[in-house]
């Protein structure tokens, strides 16, 4: 069974630009979650998508957004990048047991 995949592995952007991160869930999983892992802050919940709809979001500004496609893959968009957006962004997917989340390898976003 192929795991959760994320692309790109690394992304370097300058302040003010936009970043797009992609995630493909495990086949059969309909829920996708996004987390931010910033240095010293642990894993922070960003967004949850299920069946193409945003179901819940964490305490992040609206410039963090995303979508889920009909094939259940997902995009995370970060607009007007700020230096503090530099972090590892993890995507996870799950089926009917939301706590059993399977994580991807992450995308390292660096904002300069």
Residues near other proteins, by CB under 8 A: 3-4, 31, 33, 35, 41-45, 48, 50, 55-56, 58, 90, 92, 98-105
Rounded Cα distance between 67 and 28, Å, is: 18
Q: How far is the CB of 98 from other proteins (least distance, A)?
A: 4
Within 1-112, residue ranges assigned H as helices are none
Rounded Cα distance between 54 and 27, Å, is: 19
Q: Are the C-beta atoms of residues 64 and 76 closer than 8 Å to each other?
A: yes
Q: How far is the CB of 26 from other proteins (least distance, A)?
A: 12
Q: How far is the CB of 71 from other proteins (least distance, A)?
A: 21
Nearer residue to other proteins within complex by CB, 18 or 56? 56
């Amino acid at each position: 069974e192929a795991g959760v995949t994320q692309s790109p592995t690394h992304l370097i952007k300058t302040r003010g630009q936009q970043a797009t991160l992609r995630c493909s869930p495990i086949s059969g999983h309909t829920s996708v979650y996004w987390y931010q892992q910033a240095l010293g802050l642990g894993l922070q919940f960003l967004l949850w998508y299920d069946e193409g709809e945003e179901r819940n979001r964490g305490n992040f500004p609206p410039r963090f957004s995303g979508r889920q496609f009909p094939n259940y893959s997902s995009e995370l968009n970060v607009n007007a990048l700020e230096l503090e957006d530099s972090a590892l962004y993890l995507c996870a997917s799950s089926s009917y047991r939301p706590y059993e989340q399977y994580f991807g390898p992450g995308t390292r976003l660096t904002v300069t």
